[in-house]
Amino acid sequence: MQINPLIFRNYDIRGVVGKDLDSSKVEALGKAYGSFLRKRKIRQIVCGRDCRLSGEEFQKAFIDGVVSTGVDVIDLGVIMTQMMYYGQYRFQTNGGAMLTASHNPANFNGFKLGIGFSQTTGPDEVQELRRLVETDDFVVAEKRGTVTVADIKEDYAQDVLKRVNLKRKYKVVVDPHCGTTTLYIPEILERAGCDVVVINDKMDGSFPVGTPDPTDARLMSDLAQVVKEEKADMGIAFDGDGDRIGLVDEKGDILWNDVAVAIFAKEILERFPKSKIIYNTLCSQIVPKVIKENGGIPVIWKTGHAFIKAKIASEKAAFGGELSGHFFFADNAYGHDDGTYAALRIIEYLGEKNMSLSELYGTFPKYTSSPEIKIGCPDEKKVGVIKDLSIKFKADFPNAQITDENIIPGDDGVRADFDDGMMVFRYSQNGPYITIKFEATTDKVFEERRSYVRQMLEKYPEMIWEDQLCVNLDFVRNS
């Protein structure tokens, strides 16, 4: 079958509905995944979808493809991604498929495909699936697999709730942003003992109030305003499929998620000193500093939930986190990214310390920091742009400590660390865009870095300044 090869990304499959993905292509992907599993003697999967409008049609087509290979399917319906992972444990199966495009706009969809408990495909496995689709090299079973429908909402809620114990009642503003988390998060937080105020609480896969993306400064600013109006203790935003969060403190200040990585690292290191903590190349210098100050071992690694999970396993780390809001707890959970559990863990820690969120991170090193900035760049050009940009970047800052593919094999960008902050450019693994982050300890240097970033981006005509995938570009463009 002819299919756009660019939808096969480094760890997920993701494309535009009606252009890259339709029912026939999705069914072929189901056949490929079923064949992939049969080769590994896996005969059962759990399968769920987020609330995107294409989800129901695509899930049916995907399941039809999977069962044609003789693999049984447990259909979990509309769920959060972490519930797919939980379903693997609940039904004791290595196989798992989640139809989601995470934080991409509503006209995208895609797949996270399990290859083990809490583990998803990496680059080699994704390309194996691509070859199977392109060559129609599918297993055709004499007996089709079965489809069983299961509702794991209550089982999942009980499993999460048994892992936390909140010491006091916090008032929390929750923003599902019309995503799948509307069905689950508010109720779970209430059952945990929180006073919950919910905004944008009507699930709608067209995302009428904008893409659920907790890295978007405009979304987070709107949440911050409600937190102040409600005199709440904090605000928590979720992405479309629920495995990522964003935080606002009681003063209405946005905490970019590298600060949250540092908070979780501090909490874990208080109990497990000398542990390794994994963080991605987009994170602030706050993260390694807090890890070292609290007796831990910082390990920087390439961006991507599959890569971070694999690194946590190989390093036997206690925790890992990303700027995007993926958090992986290996101390008292399954080790996969679960936005529900991350939200409850930070509320639990506040209660244990009897502190506000602003007090908790107030002792951390101070940086002026940009949000995660995303600018459109075609898939077929983004790698070349970053390779060219990195040459200029390293020449402009010869005294900086550089982290790139020479330090982290297979890394997708270049990072420069200075005595007073950092700057990083990378291409995305799951969309046609480039990501930038920078920081400094003084406003003067911060503005110099902001100007540098803008000038660098303007050098490349490949950059798309008006695109639905752009996030926080005004932060650079208006400098």
CA dihedral defined by 216, 221, 224, 228, rounded to 10 degrees?
180
Q: Which two tokens stand for residue 421?
A: 């902050």
User: Of 68, 102, 275, 324, which one is the catalytic site residue?
Assistant: 102
Closest CA to 463 of 421, 418, 432: 432
Helices (H), 105-216: 123-135, 153-161, 185-192
3-state secondary structure of 307: helix
Could you give the angle at which helices 185-192 and 153-161 cross, rounded to 10 degrees?
40
Q: What is the enclosing helix (H) or strand (E) of 266?
A: helix 257-271
User: Does the annotation count 479 as an active-site position?
Assistant: no
Q: What is the enclosing helix (H) or strand (E) of 173?
A: strand 171-175
Strands 254-255 and 245-248: antiparallel
Q: How far apart are CA 108 and CA 274, in angstroms?
A: 42
Q: How far apart are CA 163 and CA 344, in angstroms?
A: 9
Query: How far, rounded to the nearest angstrom, does the alpha carbon of residue 216 sit from its chain's CA centroid?
Result: 13
Tokens 């497990």 locate to: 272
Torsional class of 397: left (φ above 0), alpha (ψ -120 to 50), beta (otherwise): beta
Please give the angle made by the CA atoms of 177, 474 and 256, to the nearest 5 degrees.
55
Sequence-ordered strand ranges (E) for 134-232 = 147-149, 171-175, 195-198
**Count of CB atoms situated within 10 Å of the CB of 451:** 12
**Which residues are CB-neighbours of 388 under 8 A, at least 6 positions away?**
460
Could you give the angle at which helices 257-271 and 339-353 cross, rounded to 10 degrees?
60
3-state secondary structure of 325: coil
Q: Which two tokens stand for residue 237?
A: 């935003």
- Exposed (0-12), middle (13-18) or buried (19+): which is 475, by Cβ within 10 Å? middle
**Count of CB atoms situated within 10 Å of the CB of 428:** 22
Q: Which residues are catalytic?
A: 102
